[in-house]
Amino acid sequence: MNDFPWEEYSGDWITFAEIGDSAVGTLKDIHRGKDFNGNPCPELVIDTAEGTKTVTVGQARLKLALADARPQVSDKIAIVFTGYAPASGGQYPAKLFEVKVQKSDAPFTTGGVSADDLLAG
């Protein structure tokens, strides 16, 4: 019998396909995952208004933004896909992200929090 905790790695995945796509909510878990090439990367599990969602942090610019913000479990977080960096050398252009984190011990307005609300501060 396999006792692997698959439920820890299930859920809806957030994709950042269109500029303005966002993930906003409370950070529930951070664990190691794999990007689309099988390389290790962080995965964030976020409680959003639409339910629990998972973000695979495979994009280099998103990794950098999150490393700067250093979110912790129970923090409020907003991740917004803001555009593309210029492409070079036949490569696909890198996606650009805005990341805002509000620490869990800071006062927070409850109910109806949007990406615009968190990014305004």
pLDDT tens digits along 22-81: 999 999 999 998 888 888 999 999 999 999 999 999 998 999 999 999 999 999 999 999
Q: Is residue 81 part of a domain?
A: yes
pTM score > 0.85 for this model? no
Q: Tokens standing for 90?
A: 């036949």
Q: Is 60 exceeded by the pLDDT of residue 105?
A: yes
Task: Answer yes or no: is 121 within a domain.
Answer: no
CATH number, domain with residue 57: 2.40.50.360
Q: Note whether residue 56 is domain-resident.
A: yes
Q: Do the domain assignments include residue 109?
A: no
Percent of the chain at pLDDT > 90 equals: 58
Sorted by sequence, the CB contacts under 8 Å of residue 53 that are 6+ apart come out as 11, 12, 13, 14, 23, 25, 45, 46
Domain-located, residue 117: no
What is the domain range of residue 19? Answer: 10-103
> Best-predicted range by mean pLDDT among 42-46, 109-113, 117-121?
42-46
Task: Name the domain count of the chain.
Answer: 1
Q: Give the DSSP letter of residue 38.
A: S
User: E strand or H helix at 119, and its extent?
Assistant: helix 115-120
Q: How far apart (Å, rounded) are the C-alpha atoms in residues 120 and 47?
A: 21
